[in-house]
Amino acid sequence: MKPYIVPQLELIDEDLTNLEDEMVIEEKHLKSIYIEEQNCKNVLFKGCILENVTFSDNCFKKIEFNNVIFKRCDLSNMSLEDAIFHICQFEDCKLTGLNIPESCVQYTTFKTCIGDYLGLGFSTLKEVDFEECSLKMSYLGECKFQKVQFKLCDLTGAEMAGTKLKGLDFTTCQIEGLKVKLQELVGLKVTPTQALNFAKMLGLKIEGME
């Protein structure tokens, strides 16, 4: 499912400095701007394209992005509490240290994004695709996954303890040092080499594999 964007959007190419509670930003093309030092809640971005937008030093609560495309945006080290991402698309974005706990992410694609140390703990993810993303040391623990896919992603050192992994396919991903619980491995699809690594993590001594 791709975001619905009307053919002609109003261009905004000046920094946003006046966001307020309950504000709605609809059918806009935000390009090469900064959104920084904003403190507000229940802001809605709807039917927008955000291109080369940098978020910095903001405090957003219950922000919602509905049918939004993010292109080459920087959301690094942001904290978004109780956020909603509904039918969104992230392309080549910097998400390092982005913290969005207890959030809802649905019908959303992350493609070729850098999301090391991404924090999605206690969130609900429904029909979410991660494609060619770096997610090293990310926290995806205690999440609810429904039709989530990881393709060619680097999950080195990521933590998924408390998240049921049944139905996931990690065969194209790097998962060295992935932190999980034994019972959550049921139904997870991995390569033979990945299975051996999990066995070692569980303390098994495998003959001929010292």
- Residue burial 17-36, b: 16+ Cβ < 10 Å; e: rest: eebeeeeebeebbbbebebe
- Rounded to a whole number of angstroms, the CA Rg of the chain reads 18
Calpha distance 140→116 (Å, rounded): 12
pLDDT digits (tens, 9 = 90+) for 169-187: 999 999 998 999 888 888 9
pLDDT, one tens digit for every residue, the chain (210 residues): 899 999 999 999 999 988 999 999 999 999 999 999 999 999 999 999 999 999 998 989 999 999 999 999 999 999 888 899 999 999 999 999 999 999 999 999 999 999 999 999 999 999 999 999 999 999 999 999 999 999 999 999 999 999 999 999 999 999 998 999 888 888 999 998 888 877 777 766 666 655
pLDDT reported for residue 53: 97
DSSP string, the chain: -PPP--SS-EEE-S-B----TT-EEESEEEES-EEES-EEES-EEEEEEEES-EEES-EEES-EEEEEEEES-B-TT-BEET-EEEEEEEES-B-TT-B-TT-EEEEEEEES-B-TT-B-TT-EEEEEEEES-B-TT-B-TT-EEEEEEEES-B-TT-B-TTS--TT-B-TTSB-TT-B--GGGGTT-B--HHHHHHHHHHTT---TT--
pLDDT at residue 208, as a whole number: 61
Nearest by Cα to 146 from 107, 95, 177: 107
Q: Say how many C-beta atoms besides its own lie within 10 A of residue 51's C-beta.
A: 17
Gap between the Cα atoms of 123 and 169, Å rounded: 20
**pLDDT recorded at residue 191:** 93
Backbone φ, ψ for residue 182 (5° rounding): -55, -45
118-130 confidence digits (pLDDT tens): 999 999 999 999 9
Q: What is the pTM of this model?
A: 0.92
Reading the block at residue 105, the tokens are: 């992410």
The residue written with tokens 């990690």 in the block is: 170
Instruction: Identify any residues that bridge with 114 across adjacent strands, giving them in sequence order.
Output: 94, 134
Per-residue pLDDT at 8: 92
